[in-house]
Structure 1
Amino acid sequence: MSDASPGKKRYSLTTQVMIGMGAGLVLGVILNMLQIEAINTHLVGGLFGMVGRMFVNALSMLVVPLVFFSLICGVAGIGDIRILGRVGGKAFGLYLLTTATAIAIAILIALVVGPGQGFQMEGVDTSGVTGKEAPSVWATFASIVPRNPVAAFAGGEMLQIIFYTIILGIAVLMLGDKSKSFVEGCEYMNELMMKVVQIVMAFAPIGVFCLITKTFTEQGIGLFLPVLAYVLVLVFALLLHLFGTLMLYLKVFSGLNPFIFMKKIRPAQVFAFSTASSNATIPVTLRCVTERMGATNSVASFSVPFGATINMDGTAIMQGVATVFLANVYGIDLGVGGYLTVIAMAVLASIGTAGVPGVGLVMLTMVLGQVGLPIEGIALILGVDRLMDMIRTAVNITGDAVVTTIVAKSEGQLDMAVYENPMAGVITDKLDIDPVAEGHLAEAARPH
């Protein structure tokens, strides 16, 4: 791969993925219009479904070991329990701030536009709607502590895994030099997992092509028409938060150039869009903030998995817009108190929400139940939610990267030479990594 002829143009992995995504979109729309049963069953539902599922599974299989080893290295790299508490406090506070801002903006926009007014409810299938009881604040925080760490790892309970790993990392710091061999082993495993990430990423263009083709073949674009106002308001709110609020926070709190940031986070956004899973995108987000932006592993390995678990800006925006939409559909006036409740519940829900596809709808049932709206109304937006889920996941991981970059900059853990280098961390041909980025990754993996 590295011995490609000098005259042959090599596309970056991001470009290859975007080509695959575009080709999948076009093919999916065409197949949706043709509706050939044999092709839909055997090619789309069969081959494309299998390859897409394999790619998502391959990303997901990296998450738990990558989070564990990178987080151990991150805590050990920080080297001081007081600094760890400061980094964690900054990240947690910023995540809550961005989520609360996101849903407040979403509700305000939705109230001004008024999606759902005059909507005619006909032929709505509510068979797939399942409610979820709202947990108390205390129950949510109590569930962070795992009764059985092994079960938490096996079940992929990210918040419990993060809590356990941080406690383990603190114990490593307390043991001092006795932990040297253990930390070195974790550093090796962290580098090893990053190499596995490279291998999986080499197949990303094919996986993304299959995922997008299957989605648009099954969903088409006709499902947007009945709930077009909801879709347009939601997309506008998501993009406003992505390009407006988050970039404003980045500039205000760090002074960094938002244009450089948006260019460098693009690979993670593309993967988040195609997989609709914040957790599955963790490996790519980590690579972007360390290799492309210059954040040290000691900060990024803590903040990124933490954000993928508790920071759901896009999901919160969806819950705000959907609540206003359904309130208008049913002619229910929630009032100021009701919308304040929605903001509080959405922020609380984001803390305990798993970063997997489709979970936003489940959490929405909790919010609707809290303000007295019929849960059955979710059936109105079921058809378009998969595509909306893809967009809001891209917003979710962008928020994770913004907070990580801000915290790294505030702690003096951001390499500005890497951040300002447009070629830093660019993957030019599948498994080949830019030498600057590879050197930075090796440096970032070592304790600081």
Structure 2
Amino acid sequence: MKNFGLLTKIIIAIIVGIIIGSFVNEWFIQLLATFNSIFGNFISFIIPFIILGFITPGIGEIGRGAGKLLGISAFFAYASTILAGIIAFLVAKSLYPSLLNGQSLHSVTDPTEGLTEPFFTVPMTPPFEVVTALIISFVLGIGLASIHSEKLLGIFLDLRAIVQLVIEKVIIPLLPFHILGIFANMTYTGQVATIITVFAKVMLMILILHLLYLVLQYSIAGTLSRQNPFVMLKKMSPAYFTALGTQSSAATIPVTLKQTKSLGVKESIADFTIPLYANIHLSGSTITLISCSLAVLFLNGEPATMQSYLPFILMLGITMVAAPGVPGGAVMAAIGLLETMLGFNQAMVSLMIALYLAQDSLGTACNVTGDGAITSIVNTIFKK
């Protein structure tokens, strides 16, 4: 699979997993379950390091910006991300009862239990809990921004580089095999038909939500700057399609920057906000995460209310700050919150990863295209 993109690898893994699960014996499923158990435990172990390695220097670097411009830019990025999450929740909550009617797993069984119990497990206890990692990250990040310690910031930047290397060289390459094992297990236990049907419906809904949210963003930006929002969207389309290919906001920055300046944004503002928004404005990823997590909960028969989801959405907007510029970075940063705030078990997290990565490029494209709209809004405010 070396020469394929991540999305292609995920699709191949799902297909191969379904084929394997339809004819192999229990011994082979146990072998896959053993790999899934070890890999799942490793992901749980690395989550606190992902949070600490990305949120701490992310807040520290952001806090070293240009005062008022930074504050306003960060406010609109966070507001856009949170609004996207709330809209996604309301839409999914309204549509899923009819869209996914009759499709339930009753209980998303853990692939390491029952008939598919692994041959052995390797316990990997995280050094500290997810909430502890978040608190430490916020305290250290704000502290770094306040005392301007170059040495301490350098340490956390090095930690971020190490964690990103683990994600790029270990987690991302092994994820397709993990997903293969999940789908082989679900085929073996007769659950895969439900999952595939849900995948198709949820992905279509997410794509439509992304496009509608971009129209909303550019309608606001166009109204404030007195431009046609659809003309603005057309100008930003190269950034959208570039992000579909790169699956990385960071890798798309040059194109996003060029197209944003074509909207009439002041060059100095675009130069400041676009690299910033590549790390902190994740409206598309938030729509995807909320929609996918609700789908997994719906399949599992678990209740979901705005009271339980709003804290998750608010924390998600912060946790994904400076998420790694690699495919799947947002969902990796969100796994801890899924487990601690929504009660996801390992199998539910695996389903969530598969759902998310199958359309990760769409979320990234929505993120970077929306960056142009938010930058235009900031530019209009500073003009006035």
Do both proteins adopt the same fold according to a TM-score greater than 0.5, normalized to the shorter chain? yes
**Hey, what does 1:100 align to over in structure 2?**
82
**Hey, what does 1:19 align to over in structure 2?**
none
Instruction: State the AA in 1 paired with 2:266.
Output: T
Task: Assess if the C-alpha contact under 8 Å between 2:222 and 2:232 holds in 1.
Answer: no
- Cα distance in 2, alignment partners of residues 390 and 280 from structure 1: 12
Residues 156 and 405 of structure 1: is their aligned pair in 2 closer, same or farther, counting only changes over 3 Å? farther
Shift of 1:365: 1.4
Equivalent residues in 2 for 1:33-432, closer than 5 Å: 84-114=66-96, 118-120=103-105, 133-134=130-131, 135-136=133-134, 139-140=137-138, 142-143=140-141, 145=144, 147-150=151-154, 225=197, 227-243=199-215, 245-290=216-261, 292-369=262-339, 370-412=341-383
- Cα distance in 2, alignment partners of residues 108 and 343 from structure 1: 12
Residues 123 and 89 of structure 1: is their aligned pair in 2 closer, same or farther, counting only changes over 3 Å? closer
- Cα distance in 2, alignment partners of residues 156 and 284 from structure 1: 25
Shift of 1:336: 3.0
- Cα distance in 2, alignment partners of residues 255 and 294 from structure 1: 11
- Cα distance in 2, alignment partners of residues 333 and 342 from structure 1: 14
Q: Which secondary structure does the structure 2 equivalent of 1:113 belong to?
A: helix
Unmatched 5+ stretches in structure 1: 1-23, 34-70, 76-80, 158-214, 414-448
Shift of 1:87: 1.8
Determine what percentage of the aligned residue pairs are the same residue. Answer: 23
Task: Assess if the C-alpha contact under 8 Å between 2:108 and 2:299 holds in 1.
Answer: no
- Cα distance in 2, alignment partners of residues 375 and 340 from structure 1: 23
- Cα distance in 2, alignment partners of residues 91 and 235 from structure 1: 26
- Cα distance in 1, alignment partners of residues 245 and 111 from structure 2: 27
Residues 361 and 153 of structure 1: is their aligned pair in 2 closer, same or farther, counting only changes over 3 Å? closer
**Hey, what does 1:67 align to over in structure 2?**
none
Instruction: State the AA in 2 paired with 1:313.
Output: S
- Cα distance in 2, alignment partners of residues 264 and 279 from structure 1: 19
Task: Assess if the C-alpha contact under 8 Å between 2:217 and 2:370 holds in 1.
Answer: yes
Residues 347 and 385 of structure 1: is their aligned pair in 2 closer, same or farther, counting only changes over 3 Å? closer
Instruction: State the AA in 2 paired with 1:390.
Output: S
- Cα distance in 1, alignment partners of residues 139 and 223 from structure 2: 31
Instruction: State the AA in 1 paired with 2:328.
Output: G
Residues 246 and 116 of structure 1: is their aligned pair in 2 closer, same or farther, counting only changes over 3 Å? same
Shift of 1:398: 1.5
**Hey, what does 2:147 align to over in structure 1?**
none
Task: Assess if the C-alpha contact under 8 Å between 2:84 and 2:283 holds in 1.
Answer: yes
- Cα distance in 2, alignment partners of residues 379 and 349 from structure 1: 19
Instruction: State the AA in 1 paired with 2:92.
Output: A
Q: Which secondary structure does the structure 2 equivalent of 1:366 belong to?
A: helix
Shift of 1:98: 0.5
Task: Assess if the C-alpha contact under 8 Å between 1:102 and 1:317 holds in 2.
Answer: yes
**Hey, what does 2:4 align to over in structure 1?**
none
Residues 152 and 298 of structure 1: is their aligned pair in 2 closer, same or farther, counting only changes over 3 Å? farther
Give the aligned length: 274
Shift of 1:266: 1.1
Task: Assess if the C-alpha contact under 8 Å between 1:273 and 1:391 holds in 2.
Answer: yes
Q: Which secondary structure does the structure 2 equivalent of 1:143 belong to?
A: helix
Equivalent residues in 2 for 1:6-21, closer than 5 Å: none
Instruction: State the AA in 1 paired with 2:379.
Output: A
Shift of 1:279: 0.8
Residues 341 and 122 of structure 1: is their aligned pair in 2 closer, same or farther, counting only changes over 3 Å? closer
Task: Assess if the C-alpha contact under 8 Å between 2:324 and 2:330 holds in 1.
Answer: no
Residues 122 and 375 of structure 1: is their aligned pair in 2 closer, same or farther, counting only changes over 3 Å? closer
Shift of 1:385: 3.2
Shift of 1:388: 1.0
Shift of 1:323: 2.2
Shift of 1:123: 8.8
Shift of 1:395: 0.7
Q: Which secondary structure does the structure 1 equivalent of 2:383 belong to?
A: coil
**Aligned-CA RMSD value:** 3.6
Residues 96 and 302 of structure 1: is their aligned pair in 2 closer, same or farther, counting only changes over 3 Å? same
Question: What TM-score comes out, normalization by structure 2 length?
Answer: 0.61
What per-residue deviation string (whole Å, max 9, x for no partner) do you get for residues 259-279 of structure 1?
221111111111111111011
What per-residue deviation string (whole Å, max 9, x for no partner) do you get for residues 253-308 of structure 1?
43332122111111111111111101111111112122x22323311121111111
- Cα distance in 1, alignment partners of residues 337 and 100 from structure 2: 18
**Hey, what does 1:182 align to over in structure 2?**
none
- Cα distance in 1, alignment partners of residues 243 and 141 from structure 2: 27
Shift of 1:138: 6.2
What per-residue deviation string (whole Å, max 9, x for no partner) do you get for residues 194-218 of structure 1?
xxxxxxxxxxxxxxxxxxxxx9xx9
Instruction: State the AA in 2 paired with 1:379.
Output: S
- Cα distance in 1, alignment partners of residues 270 and 139 from structure 2: 23
Residues 381 and 337 of structure 1: is their aligned pair in 2 closer, same or farther, counting only changes over 3 Å? closer
